Amino acid sequence: MTIVSGAMDEVSPPPFPPPQAGEGQGGGIRLTEQQLRARRSRSIAIALALGAFVVVIFVVTLVKLGSNVLTRPM
Amino acid sequence: MSVTLARIEPSIAGVGDYVALLKPRVMSLVVFTALVGLLIAPGHVHPVIALTALLCIAVGAGAAGALNMWYDADIDARMTRTAGRPIPQGRVTPGEAAGFGLTLAMFAVVTLGLLVNWVAASLLAFTIAFYVVIYTMWLKRSTPQNIVIGGAAGALPPIIGWAAVTGGVAVEPIVLFLIIFFWTPPHFWALSLYRTEDYARAGIPMLPVVAGEAETRRQIVIYTLILAPLGVAPWFLGYAGPLYGIAAVATGAAMIVLALRVRAERQGHAASKQMFGFSILYLFLLFAVLLADRLWGGLAAQAVSHFAA
């Protein structure tokens, strides 16, 4: 993410500033290969952690409630 | 109005960097001592609940490590031993580490409370807060007693493990707490004896930096003389068998001999390095033998009751 610095109330920045190094067209960020790889590995790790968390909650629920899951009062 | 905003670079932190923030080696010792506290506790807990408790304790310990690295990034960068950590290396920003640590800490405490019990969760929250606020933010940079008092955080996991089973605290885990508490100073001071320049450069008032090597060697002996009898206490108190007693006496005697060699050392740091290395083995052996002793005792009791029936 790029945040343009400058005097906000003095000179209005052009609507589409020319791309700088590391930026794509229209000022968006173009990630390097290393950044893309790092982001992908982090995303996978977060997905696995969340999946593991769901499994833990599910299994502990079964252990704590057991067959009472089906017999609880509605 | 003029507002200048910093350019925020996309992160290059990989999964390995986040794992490093958790201090896996410290975490493994925490999990091991908590496991011992959990297994020697009276009563029964479902294995899934026990595993959940250990997972929460591990994540909580990792969160404390990440928050420690966030706050100590400046001094980590000045020490050879810690300069390779993710924040000084620029792979993880301090903000990322702080967010990571706080999120994990919250998850660990709340999950432990909801799935196991709130006594264990409160103890875990206290441990994390003590390590981060009392030790990292306050004591570490201000007093040579930093690792003495701060050692309480590292000593609490057996109590948390015990509380996860019983929902309370008793003498047995408190003795384990005291063993780790009195083990911490000779362990870290042995290390700091041959890392004195590192600590001095970082401005950390470790005992050898502030009081000198001779005083540090003397204090190592004093704490080891308190530690060795404490190591035998579980046997005297009757919740460990003779196997543990023999191991505790033998390894405690070895610790005293090594401490005396550190005291007598005039040149070099061979004895200090030996003491540091053996102290890790000492704590591991004490807890491993206690665990084996209890498990063996439990199996033997089960066998006796089985045949008696």
pLDDT of B105: 98
Nearest to A60 among B8, B18, B52 (CB): B52
Same domain, A4 and A22: yes
Q: Are A69 and A62 in contact (CB under 8 A)?
A: yes
Q: Is the pLDDT of residue A8 over 80?
A: no
Query: Which residues face B2 on adjacent strands?
Result: A7
Virtual torsion, Cα B186, B187, B188, B190, nearest 10 deg: 70
**Backbone phi, psi, residue A7, to 5°:** -80, 115
Q: What is the band of A6 on the pLDDT scale with cuts at 50, 70, 90?
A: very low
CA B210-B215-B218 angle, 5° bins: 145
One-letter amino acid for residue B55 of the chain = L
- Choose among B152, B279, B170, B160: nearest CA to B234: B170
Q: Would you call A6 helix, strand, or coil by DSSP?
A: strand
pLDDT of B261: 96
Q: B52 CB near a chain A CB, below 8 Å?
A: yes
Q: Are B62 and B19 in contact (CB under 8 A)?
A: no
Contacts of A51 (CB under 8 A, 6+ apart): none
Search chain B and give the residue with CA nearest A28. Answer: B10
pLDDT of A73: 63
DSSP state of A25: G
Shortest alpha-carbon distance between residue A34 and chain B (Å): 7
Shortest alpha-carbon distance between residue A10 and chain B (Å): 8
pLDDT of A68: 72
How far apart are alpha carbons B123 and B184 in whole angstroms?
Answer: 20
Q: Are A23 and A2 in contact (CB under 8 A)?
A: yes
Instruction: Take residue B290 and report the two structure tokens written for it.
Output: 């206690």
Same domain, A36 and A65: yes
Q: Are A44 and B36 in contact (CB under 8 A)?
A: no
Same domain, A46 and A61: yes
pLDDT of A66: 78
Same domain, A43 and A61: yes
Same domain, A23 and A53: no
pTM, 2 dp: 0.86
pLDDT of B2: 53
Token match 């047995």: residue?
A: B172
Q: Which residues of A touch B96 (CB under 8 A)?
A: none
pLDDT of A11: 54
Number of domains in chain A: 2
Number of neighbours of residue A52 by Cβ within 10 angstroms: 11
How far apart are alpha carbons B33 and B27 in whole angstroms?
Answer: 10
Shortest alpha-carbon distance between residue B249 and chain A (Å): 41
Q: Are B42 and B120 in contact (CB under 8 A)?
A: no
Task: Give domain B17-169's CATH number out of 1.20.120.1150, 3.20.20.70, 1.10.357.140, 3.40.50.720.
Answer: 1.10.357.140
Nearest to A9 among B1, B14, B49 (CB): B1
Same domain, A25 and A45: no
pLDDT of A14: 53
How far apart are alpha carbons B195 and B276 in whole angstroms?
Answer: 12
Instruction: Take residue B169 and report the two structure tokens written for it.
Output: 């605290």
Same domain, A2 and A25: yes
Q: Would you call B2 helix, strand, or coil by DSSP?
A: strand
Same domain, A20 and A46: no
The domain spans of chain B are 17-169, 170-301
List the pLDDT tens digit at each of the 309 positions of chain B: 455 555 567 788 889 999 999 999 999 999 999 999 999 999 889 999 999 999 999 999 999 999 999 999 999 999 998 999 999 999 999 999 999 999 999 999 999 999 999 999 999 999 999 999 999 999 999 999 999 999 999 999 999 999 999 999 999 999 999 999 999 999 999 999 999 999 999 999 999 999 999 999 999 999 999 999 999 999 999 889 899 999 999 999 999 999 999 999 988 899 999 999 999 999 999 999 999 988 877 666 666 666 666
Same domain, A25 and A44: no
How far apart are alpha carbons B309 and B115 in whole angstroms?
Answer: 36
pLDDT of B219: 97
Q: Which of residues 90-149 of B touch A (CB under 8 A)?
A: 107, 111, 115
Q: B44 CB near a chain A CB, below 8 Å?
A: no
Same domain, A24 and A38: no
Search chain A and give the residue with CA nearest B5. Answer: A5
Q: Which domain holds residue A4?
A: 1-30
Same domain, A11 and A42: no
How far apart are alpha carbons B44 and B105 in whole angstroms?
Answer: 27
Same domain, A38 and A67: yes
Q: Mind listing the pLDDT tens digit for each residue in A19-58?
A: 555 555 566 778 888 889 999 999 999 999 999 999 999 9
